[in-house]
Structure 1
Amino acid sequence: MGHTSSQRSEFVRFALDQGVLRFGEFKVKSGRLSPYFFNAGLFNSGASVGKLAQFYAQALVDSGLDFDMLFGPAYKGIPLSTATACALVNHPGLHGRDVPFAFNRKEAKAHGEGGTLVGAPLEGKVVIIDDVITAGTSVGESVEIIRAAGAEPAAVLIALDRMERAGADDALSGHSAVQEVEQRYGIPVVSIATLGDIMAFLEDNATFAEHQRTVSAYRARYGV
């Protein structure tokens, strides 16, 4: 069963209300000027993170994927995996199933221990949870950690798929960061919403008409 479009547009509205999604002109990590900005770190109160976690839980249940536990890469993945595990317990689709979670500590890597795990032991089918995938490097690290523990990376769960090609303007990659991750690791990426959902939201909301053109132009140039 697919993730419902009402759920997706509701998330876009929620992200806007929280100031997590903003329109304007933003210099992003890649050096590009983006007509929108998405910063999940701004979900920073009990109510907003609780609601965010419900969206994650819903997207994961809607995906129909089989999973045993969550893994949150340091640092953003730590609160995300914790809150989503709490939300999953209350999700009617899981009938009270208690989903374990684990996360890693970055500090240990400096001492050559290869990252210290905190939380439940990594086993079974593990869902990696993060905010967005920009380069896919943190996904690679998570996949290594999970496989090293003898568990299986089952999916990556993110808040927003930017659906954007990587690379310099004159040498754009053929695929988006999300597609690269899916192809390289052979695991699906599940997102609460995508750039397509942001576009659909803009089309339905006249107040944002001015941004529709800039986002549309950006998607035409960098989108997949």
Structure 2
Amino acid sequence: MSELAPYKAEFLGAAINGGPLSFGSFTLKSGRQSPYFFNAGQFYRADLLEAISTAFGQTIAEADKAGVFLPEGADKDTSKPTFDVVFGPAYKGIPLATAAVSALASLDKQRYGSIGYAFDRKEAKDHGEGGNFVGAPLQGKRVVIVDDVITAGTAKREAVAKIRAAGGIVVAIVVALDRMETLPDAPTKESALGALRREFGLPILAILTLDDIIAGMKAFATPDDLARTEAYRAQYKAED
């Protein structure tokens, strides 16, 4: 883990020690038998939430200050934030968005103090304030979507469509983990992350990748868990 940035190493350590990242045999939606499983819903404890929120905040801040969220060919003025809202798709994305915004304010309140968060409702509310969204208005705003992982990419496509329909401008997607594996039944060795990047032309960033996990496993995992995870990577790793 020494090769990782400190906040990434701390995030990986928290995920392993706290239980969100576990090893064994897990059946994925794709039907594949995975030797590891990542569950962002397990970051419910205060110390674990701090680790994932800091990781999201740092990842977003680094990309923002490097101009990653700006369109190609745009003036690279990064003296002020290059995004306005962090959006979390319901349900797991909701705490991630709020935690990321809080972490950004802790990192640099002057720069990120006015950044908002928003999330969607599974069903539109027909009373009170109504609507399909909660949180910051999206009309005309530059939006970063955050979520745990990209599996098939369906939830991210729905989020992009909803945000655009509300007048928002999606500038990036940031996920906690890139599994780096090919889509089931894909004609090429393309990952879900790569397919979304190609489809929308957006930067898609991950705090950790499967390569990072394997590098970290060498310090604590059993030889069997490590061997099975490396074999899984060799079998399913995408080429994008």
Contact 1:160 1:191 in 2 (8 A): yes
Aligned to 1:163: 180
1:144-166 CA-to-partner distances (Å, cap 9, x unmatched) read 11111222101111110000111
| Counterpart in the other structure of 1:26 | 26
Q: Give, in whole Å, the separation in 1 of the partners of 2:24 and 2:55.
A: 25
Q: Is the Cα contact below 8 Å between 2:116 and 2:136 reproduced in 1?
A: yes
Q: Does 1:83 align with 2:99?
A: yes
* Distance in 1 of aligned mates of 2:109 and 2:89: 26
- 1:196 has 2:219 as partner: no
For residue 130 of structure 1, give the secondary structure of its aligned residue in structure 2. Answer: strand
Question: Residues 207 and 130 (structure 1 numbering): CA distance in 2 closer, same or farther, change over 3 Å?
Answer: closer
Q: Contact conserved, 1:9 with 1:198, CA < 8 A, in 2?
A: no
Q: CA deviation at 1:4?
A: 5.0
Q: 1:127 aligns with which of 144, 158, 162?
A: 144
* Alignment partners' CA distance in 1, 2:168 and 2:135: 15
TM-score when scaled to structure 2?
Answer: 0.82
- TM-score when normalising by structure 1: 0.88
State the distance in 2 between where 1:50 and 1:39 align. 16
**1:176 maps to 2:191:** yes
**Contact conserved, 1:54 with 1:87, CA < 8 A, in 2?**
yes
Structure 2 residue 230 is the aligned partner of structure 1 residue 213? no
Work out the number of aligned pairs and report it. Answer: 215
Question: Are 1:39 and 2:55 an aligned pair?
Answer: no
Q: Counterpart amino acid of 1:165?
A: T
Distance change in 2, residues 1:133/1:150 (3 Å): same
Higher fraction of helix: 1
Report what 1:138 is aligned to.
155
Contact 1:133 1:161 (8 Å CA) reproduced: yes
Two-structure CA RMSD over aligned residues (Å): 2.2
Distance 2:110 2:235 in 1: 41
